[in-house]
Chains A and B, each alone.
Chain A
Amino acid sequence: MHNDESTEDEGPSLASNRTLEIIVALLFLAGSAIVIYDSARLGFGWIEGQGPAPGYFPFYVALAMGIASLVTLFQALRGSFPGGDDSFVSVVGFGRVLTVLIPSVFYVMLIGGVNLGPIGIPGLGLYVASAIFITLFMIFIGKDNPLKSALVGIGIPLTLFFMFEKWFQVPLPKGPLEAMLGY
């Protein structure tokens, strides 16, 4: 849908459509294998008194998914897709995707903190993390004026805070700042 002309004149290609087709088809096959594995554990026949076993439905679904992905994989390997060798994404384009993807990952880390074995960082809560994310995003990616960025960055979480915590009383993740203020 978004695979329009704009990507063509953007320098070298990072990956071709065909490469991505193969990767995605393999991922689908892996998913199918996982589901079939667990369905086999649960059983996919008929259980007396319970009807079709719990694994019945997922098993056949995964089977169909596997077959469909094999066909796609085969077609991609044979190169029979029209436009299969066109660029999936250019280096420049992918760089731009990363400029929003990587900050988003950091943003989610900031909200809930990180807890990976030895590395344990407590989260800042959603409101503070959002303020930081919006402000920095506007300054560094949107190239906006820092004062305006800070105002928007603080304004949006503040509005959300009143809406969710005060008005609708839906608790969102909160961090040390909110704790200090007694929430």
Chain B
Amino acid sequence: MEELSSLMHGFAVVLTPFNLFLMCVGILLGVIIGVLPGLGGANGVAILLPLTFSMPPTSAIIMLTCIYWGALFGGAITSILFNIPGEPWSVATTFDGHPMAQRGRADEALTAAFTSSFIGAFFAVVLITFLAPVVARFALKFGPAEFFAVFFLTFASFIGMGKGSPWKTLAAMCLGLALASVGLDKVTGTLRLTFGHTELLTGFDFLIAVIGLFGIGEILASMESGLKFQGATAKIRMDAVLQTWKKLPQYWATSLRSCAIGCWMGITPGGATPASFMSYALAKRFSKNGDNFGKGEIEGVIAPETAAHAAGTAAMLPMLTLGIPGSPTAAVLLGGLLIWGLQPGPLLFIEQKEFVWGLIASMYLGNVVGLIIVLTCVPLFAAILRIPFSIIAPAILVICAVGAYTVNNSMFDVWLMLVFGLAGYVFNKLGYPLAPLVLAIVLGSKAEESFRQALLGSQGDLTVFFSNWLVGGIMGLGMVMLFWPLIAMVVGKIRGGTKSATA
């Protein structure tokens, strides 16, 4: 139990009034950053990094990681209230979180999201505390083929999920993949599908697509059905938090599964985005209420939020022990470590004990402080929906424009956002699913890159994807997911079950 005593020492380092103050400031800043689309966690940390150069490293990292926790919490707020995910890993939260808000259950959705985030993060921190060295070595096993297998598994678990036409799902996913391939091809350094337009060099950022498809599309749809916003009728219940907490324990299986997926994805480092999507898809598969997913099922909020936070936290582990960042924010923090004169890597745990255990202790405390702060604000956030639609609509449009612009500092993206908005409105009405489209934009280029890296390494030999137990296992799992509807049908037939099993 050497870890425990180190951790206690870490708590002693962190628990100074100055550090606690920084913690609160960091969480609040983070929530604001998470709420404003375009100012993601990575940007927020990068922007505030220089402020911390004059602080001691432990205080600096406490503040920056708290910004990160705050941003993770904050991302859920706009997803639930306005259908605008500020970060890629909040996309899956909109699927059920926003319908809940529309039905006047915003406070429940927020409470579930915050609490699940906390549980996910806590699970991951415990893992970091006790298993850091063992787990870090696992991350080294991941080469291009393994990464592709992970992305394949994510996509596979999403196929056949929608109820609509499978052809439309395929078309939407392919559109996303095609959009993801615009810009510079990272493997050969060739420009693709830009047709000489410099605006297209950067490709289509997922955030522009998401702000348009979800945020603007939502406003257009609300406008069509008249100037009303169902959430406005929401009552403010002061005991919403406690009421929701009573419901949460029954979803322990989903939580546990999501924690495991999140930790795995954070460490490998597949990242929080595949984690949240995969966790959502699996929860839908295994839940008794799977058919209600997408209509405002609380389990559909718990699953992605738990996994995203677990992954976001677990991503710190490869950063500290190997010096590889598991997320963009971790990449910026890594830059910070170097500037403060710390060298991340295998020796950090030995040479900078105080810093490392201070950081780990701050992960525990930061998440507790964060949870308390955001939970007390739940009624406040839910009350935002009571603001009249005539104010909310233009304000959301302005904030969407700001978000779209800040991604690449380009007006072109703001126009693009409007186009995506119109597309989102039409797609929604025609039953083209948006989830696979967005998933493809987010993960498409990464999947393609690892696929080609793997083939390059094997000189075109496709068996590389089944060359060892790890990659073969993940690919096999992906195959099972891909053909799940078929498998379920066969199983159903054998059991003589009902036809509804194939949904």
Contacts and interface: CB of A to CB of B under 8 A. Distances in A.
> Is A in direct contact with B (CB under 8 Å) within the complex?
yes
Interface stretch (B372-380, B448-456, B465-473): B448-456
Contacts of A75: 165, 167
Main secondary structure of the interface of B (DSSP, over half): helix
Given A46-B460, A51-B456, A133-B398, A38 B224 contact: no
Which of B193, B427, B448, B460 is packed against the most chain A CB atoms within 10 Å? B193
A89 B223 CA distance: 12
Contacts of B399: 160
A133 to B, nearest CB: 6
A24 B174 contact: no
B33 to A, nearest CB: 8
A57 B452 CA distance: 9
Contact of A170 (B47, B195, B395): B47
Secondary structure at the A interface, as helix, strand, loop or mixed, is helix
Contacts of B64: none
B226 A111 contact: no
Contacts of A32: 178
Interface string A1-21: 111101100000000010011
Nearest to B459: A51
Nearest to B43: A170
A116 to B, nearest CB: 12
Given A57-B448, A58-B192, A142-B389, A93 B225 contact: yes
Contacts of A138: 390-391, 394
Interface in B24-61: 32-33, 36, 39, 43-44, 47
Interface residues of B, number: 68
Interface string B164-206: 0101101100110110010001011010110100000000000
A137 B394 contact: yes
A29 to B, nearest CB: 10
Nearest to B409: A171
B429 A137 contact: no
B250 to A, nearest CB: 27
B40 to A, nearest CB: 12
Nearest to A74: B167
Contacts, number: 196
B393 interface: yes
Interface in B202-230: 216, 219-221, 223-227
Contact of B178 (A62, A93, A94): A62
A121 interface: no
Contacts of B406: 164, 170, 172
Given A54-B188, A108-B401, A170-B47, A24 B430 contact: yes
A111 B174 contact: no
B171 A112 contact: no
B192 A38 contact: yes
A61 B44 CA distance: 35
Nearest to B449: A57
A27 B251 CA distance: 43
Contact of B224 (A39, A56, A89, A107): A89
B420 interface: no
Given A58-B193, A126-B402, A156-B398, A2 B428 contact: yes
Contacts of A169: 47
Contacts of B225: 2, 4, 6-7, 93
Interface in A64-107: 64-65, 68-69, 71-72, 75, 88-89, 93-94, 96-97, 99-101, 104-105, 107
Interface string A28-72: 100110110011001000110011111111100110110011011
A40 to B, nearest CB: 12
Contacts of A170: 39, 43, 47, 406
B492 to A, nearest CB: 24
Interface stretch (B10-18, B260-268, B321-329, B411-419): B411-419
The residue among B175, B388, B427, B455 with the most chain A CB atoms within 10 A of its own CB is B175
Given A35-B178, A99-B223, A160-B399, 9 more contacts: A35-B193, A38-B195, A51-B455, A57-B181, A58-B178, A68-B171, A93-B225, A100-B223, A170-B43
6 contacts: A93-B225, A108-B418, A111-B414, A130-B398, A156-B395, A172-B402
Interface of B: 32-33, 36, 39, 43-44, 47, 165, 167-168, 170-171, 174-175, 177-178, 181, 185, 187-188, 190, 192-193, 195, 216, 219-221, 223-227, 388-391, 393-395, 397-399, 401-402, 405-406, 409, 411, 414-415, 418, 421-422, 425-430, 432, 448, 451-453, 455-456, 460
Cβ-closest 9 pairs across A and B: A142-B390, A65-B174, A112-B411, A51-B456, A68-B171, A137-B394, A68-B170, A2-B221, A54-B185
